[in-house]
Amino acid sequence: MTRLAAEGLSAGYGQTPILRDLTLKVPTGAITAIVGANACGKSTLLRCMSRLLRPSAGRVVLDGRPVQGIPTRALARELGMLPQSPIAPDGITVADLVSHGRHPHQGPLSRWTAADDAAVATALEATRIVDLADRDVDQLSGGQRQRVWIAMALAQETDVLLLDEPTTFLDIAHQVEILDLLVDLNQSRGTTIVMVLHDLNLAARYADHLIAVRAGRVHAAGHPDTVLTEDTVRQVFGVACRILPDPTSGRPMMLPLGRHRTTADPSHRKDAP
């Protein structure tokens, strides 16, 4: 079952093509991670799917309708998008920022309702930032701030949520926390999640569906077990690697191999000079 799909998508900035005739289907109600080398078109793909960028050819389809034809506000009730580096206005409080998520649900003249309050409160609770509601966003740590942005996307109450590198610039504890939060959201509300991730091992562990993008095309897509192979990693990232089963989740785990330190290291012994 697929609600969101890209069909023959080509797009780019100016004269430089980035996506070339890309076709993919996003499984509904699942977590999809998009991986790929730098500048392979991951973010461009996400921007096209959320209609931030108009494709030069092909189309993105939501429930059988091309997204270009859906009114902006109506689309924002179905599909949320958290860009890579949103700006927190100077001096805005957490509660006010999260409240912005209600925008697509409000008419031009309609008043703020109890339902809006409830949605904001639920989002604050789910991301565990109720205590921060009155704080200024610019005073928060990176991990807290990212939870605030996700809370805003939750308050939007969309069935589909796209996130562009939601864990970038976070330490490992906060990365895991954000990904756990997205799994909670996926399990409790059935939200379809599509995210661009850099860390292959976290992508393989947290995603139900992995899409590897190479040079503007889908190179491989499917369950992480089938996508994250030594061949795929070499072709997509240009790096040799070993794939081992993750001892906790059983998902594939990737160990990159560079030019050095690829054999058992004699200096590893404690008595080495």
Q: Is 76 in the site for another protein (CB under 8 A)?
A: yes
Q: Is 130 in the site for another protein (CB under 8 A)?
A: yes
**Angstrom distances, CA of residue 190 to CA of 29, 30, 147, 193, 240:** 5, 8, 19, 9, 36
SS3 content of the chain, % helix, strand, coil (to 5): 40, 30, 35
* Cβ(10)–Cβ(35) below 8 Å: no
Stretch that binds another protein, among 1-9, 114-122, 167-175, 195-203 (CB under 8 A): 114-122
User: From start to end of 63-199, where are the E strands?
Assistant: 65-66, 79-82, 160-164, 192-196
CB atoms within 10 A of CB 262: 12
Give the nearer residue to another protein in terms of CB position, either 156 or 232: 156
Question: From the list 83, 174, 201, 257, which residue makes contact with another protein (rule: CB under 8 A)?
Answer: 83
Q: Is 265 in the site for another protein (CB under 8 A)?
A: no
Question: From the list 35, 60, 82, 236, which residue makes contact with another protein (rule: CB under 8 A)?
Answer: 82
CA distance 70 to 75: 6
Question: From the list 5, 30, 37, 121, which residue makes contact with another protein (rule: CB under 8 A)?
Answer: 121
Shortest reach from residue 28's CB to another protein, in Å: 20
Which DSSP helix (H) or strand (E) runs through 203? helix 200-206
Number of residues that bind another protein (CB under 8 A): 45
Question: From the list 20, 59, 77, 198, which residue makes contact with another protein (rule: CB under 8 A)?
Answer: 77
* Residue whose C-alpha is closest to residue 181's, from 143, 209, 212: 143
Shortest reach from residue 8's CB to another protein, in Å: 23
What are the φ/ψ torsions at residue 65 (nearest 5 degrees)? -105, 140
Give the nearer residue to another protein in terms of CB position, either 27 or 86: 86
* Residue whose C-alpha is closest to residue 47's, from 73, 67, 27: 67
CA distance 165 to 43: 9
Q: Is 99 in the site for another protein (CB under 8 A)?
A: yes
Q: Is 120 in the site for another protein (CB under 8 A)?
A: yes
Question: From the list 32, 44, 50, 175, which residue makes contact with another protein (rule: CB under 8 A)?
Answer: 50
Positions in 9-48 near another protein (CB under 8 A):
47
Task: Give the type of residue at 117.
Answer: D
Q: Is 103 in the site for another protein (CB under 8 A)?
A: yes
Helix axis angle for 114-126 and 142-155, nearest 10°, is 140
Q: Is 118 in the site for another protein (CB under 8 A)?
A: yes
Point out which residues bind another protein (CB under 8 A).
Answer: 47, 50-52, 72-77, 80-83, 85-93, 95-97, 99-101, 103-104, 106, 108, 117-118, 120-122, 124-125, 130-131, 133-134, 156
